[in-house]
Structure 1
Amino acid sequence: MSRSVGALARMLLVSLAIFTGAPAEAGAWVQGLYGTRGFQLWVPEGYAPETPLPLVVALHGCFQNPDQFAGLTRLNVKADAEKFLVLYPNQATFANPTQCWNFMLGSNQERDAGEPALIVGMVDLVKQHYAVDARRVYIGGVSSGGVMAGTLLACYSDVFAAGMIGAGAMYKAATTVSGTAWAMELGSIYSPDDRGRDAWVCSGRPRRTVPVLVMHGSADSVVNPVNGEQAVRQFLQTSDYGDDGVNNDSVRYVATWTGSGSVPGGRSYTVKDYVYGGELLARHFVIQGMGHAWPGGDSRYPFADPSGPDATTFMWDFFRQHALDAP
């Protein structure tokens, strides 16, 4: 990213923030541009510049845009109630006609390159102009946005305190377009343990664990549910390296608690927790009978399964338990 493009993006964000007014007592949208991608920022009700707030980065899936993803998830309503900012990057149609994030391309699977770098650039831009608690920045998404969220969590674990992968896959589940079709149908051909180390390396071999929430429908015919299992295992392996710098099974792919629940008149689900070193490092929801959807989503929007549990609430409840260590 050139300095001139970055300066232009900052100027655009400032001017539009002033134009919308970002009122302190009412939630407001702010439109922005960073490099070749646009974004929308939700500033919650009661925002005050003197009080740093958490920031959730929300990545839409294919055939979606920020407005639709915000409506589907009701994330802005949650943000107003719980007081956090929400950043919605927007995939450009010139980059992908279906607005999928191009997670399978090698240029988008490394740090400081491609779409991940653009999204982190947006985060930095928001931090410059809004009061953001840098220890509590989170990333989540669905479908292609879920896979890209996993890439960002893998390669920028110094930026994101925790992440959520909805109906997605592990880091580098596929590295080609043809490989993506195979992985989505049958699961990745790559070892989650190997990809766990790759993720740790991508972030610069940090000494920290990387908490992840994974949610998947048992009847997902677009992204095989095995991809959710692989994502959990991959990030647990990343945390195994991160907690002490070596692969020694200090963190294992063994659930420490298993439970279940159901929505009255709706779907049932199972949940597995992985707690190591006193920290909830992974939580895995499998929603019975659900297809490729956002659980508990608003039925007025595509890819909603209103009979499922409220994924937005579960996501925020998971995020709020995690923060980066103070500098």
Structure 2
Amino acid sequence: MSMKRRGVVLSRALCLLAGLLALSTGTPAYAGEWVHGNHVGAWGVRGFQVWVPTGYDSMTPRPLLVALHGCLQNPDQFAGLTRLNEKADAEGFLVLYPNQATFANATQCWNFMLGMNQERGTGEPSLIVGMVDLVKQRYAVDSRRVYVGGVSAGGVLTGTLMACYSDVFAAGMVGAGAMYKAATTVSGTAFSMLFGSIYSPDDRGKDAWVCSGRPRRTVPVLVMHGTEDSVVNPLNGEQAVKQFLQTSDYGDDGVANDSIPGTPTSTRSFTVPGGRSYTVKDYVRGGELVARKYEIHGMDHAWPGGDSRYPFADPSGPDATTLMWDFFKQHALDVP
């Protein structure tokens, strides 16, 4: 081989090595691309994927959305189902997709019912917050606008992250999920999925407030649930709303005094052209939208408006991804 040819081969090899090193160390990629990584914490290791939106630059802090997939899903499938990457490109936010490991759960469900995954600083919640910290180190993230949303098992874990890390997440979305600590055992989980939680949303509302260290702030929540959900009883969605209203009731002034309304301040009905009808219930206090619930009539266990090429999609429902982001845009933490 000639010296010139050897030089070309060596140059290409070095470029390939540099690219692999950049990916493995999490160096920001080009806009509009995936970045894969792993986070190692005191409670184990989990993989993750980050979508860096088109137009990203390191000089402009961006919102960050943590997207939690459900059982029998992975980040690629959840991204495809929700079309979140397309929304991120259009709106200019980063998306972090944590990936549940099969060695932790063979069906890739988040283990939300285990005690270590229901507290601050332990278990899977601590790993996900560790990923958020990692993304903040490597990208320009607006710490006031970090959000979390998920479906099914991811929706339940979303409730835990909102409850125990309300200083990290400005708002959250619980899709086809349940309230914080709806169940604390595997058998209890099966019961709550079928019939709703045996625990009081008011008690769990206080538990959630305590888990974040009794903060003085409301915790805005968006809940979406199908009225015919055959996997997670729709009562769980109602309990999630009540629980976070109680959490916000404690958070706004430090006591439970019904300062946050427990009944909707408005109820509206809509119909997707050629699709499902749905009801929207808003809970507003002092001009702040503290909670919003979507009840999608006739929908089973699914992501409303999802891409039909993926499991758990209900294309006839409203566009949950757009509705979620529109809710999130109304909320930010008071301080960085």
Aligned to 2:298: 289
Q: What letter matches 1:251 in structure 2?
A: I
CA distance in 1, matches of 2:283, 2:220: 10
Contact 1:14–1:129 (Cα < 8 Å) also in 2? no
Shift of 1:117: 0.1
Structure 1 residues 37-186: aligned runs within 5 Å:
37-186=46-195
Q: Which amino acid aligns with 1:30?
A: V
TM-score, normalising length: structure 1: 0.94
* Distance (Å, rounded) in 2 between the aligned partners of 1:82 and 1:243: 30
Report the Cα distance in structure 1 between the residues aligned to 2:139 and 2:37, rounded to whole angstroms: 13
Give the whole-Å Cα distance in 2 for the aligned partners of 1:168 and 1:314: 17
Change (3 A) 1:84 1:234: same
Q: Which of 296, 307, 320 matches 2:329?
A: 320
Q: Distance in 1 between matches of 2:286 and 2:182?
A: 28
Contact 1:79 / 1:85 at 8 angstroms: preserved in 2?
yes
Total equivalences in the alignment: 314
Larger Rg: 2
Say which SS state the counterpart of residue 138 (structure 1) adopts.
Answer: strand
Partner residue, 2:199: 190
Q: Residues 150 and 175 of structure 2 are in contact (CA less than 8 Å); yes or no, is this contact kept in structure 1?
A: yes
CA pair 205-306 structure 1, distance change in 2 beyond 3 A: same
Alpha-carbon spacing, 1:180–1:155, altered in 2? closer, same or farther (3 Å)? same
For residues 304 and 287 of structure 2, the distance between their equivalents in structure 1, rounded to whole angstroms, comes to 28
- What is the deviation of 1:15? 2.7
* Aligned partner letter, 1:104: M
Contact 1:54 1:134 in 2 (8 A): yes
1:23 aligned partner:
30
Distance of aligned partners of 1:234 and 1:129 in 2 relative to their CA distance in 1, 3 Å threshold: same
Whole-angstrom CA distance in 2 between matches of 1:269 and 1:188: 24
2:67–2:150 Cα contact (<8 Å) kept: yes
Q: Which sections of structure 1, spanning at least 5 residues, go unmatched?
A: 1-11
Match of 2:16 in 1: none
Give the secondary-structure state (helix, strand or coil) at the position aligned to 2:156: helix
**Aligned residue runs from structure 1 range 226-245, under 5 A:** 226-245=235-254
1:159-178 alpha-carbon deviations (Å, 9 max, x no partner): 00000000000000000000
Q: Which amino acid aligns with 1:147?
A: V
